[in-house]
Structure 1
């Protein structure tokens, strides 16, 4: 309810949740140069392996061939 009231964009079939916003925060923090330990503390993970999931997401984006062509995805 609050997410819709905030005017956050979403597409049919995609659920916006507090968990997805949390995941986005972790991914964006790593993309902006935060260290894995900083993101672990931010998200309150006890095990760094849990936080390492976010590095895989960041690596997938960095290795996306479309980005090398200047194509913007998801905007």
Structure 2
């Protein structure tokens, strides 16, 4: 939700299903990590249906995991 804060554990390692903070080229995104049957490909799945999944080819794309989500801090207004 707007105004929420995401608590992130800084790490470069993540597992299938983790919500990650990722750097892809020049952009930073928060998505759920989905491994595929191809070792060099990943899929970044949005929690919000208004956004499309992002396909990552590790052989071609500049991709880095910056951390994994460990919680949400919800601000009440």
The alignment's TM-score, normalised by the length of structure 1, stands at 0.24
By relative contact order (CA 8 Å, sep 6+), the higher-ranking structure is 2
Q: Which structure shows the bigger proportion of residues in helix conformation?
A: 1
Q: Which structure shows the bigger proportion of residues in strand conformation?
A: 2
The alignment's TM-score, normalised by the length of structure 2, stands at 0.24
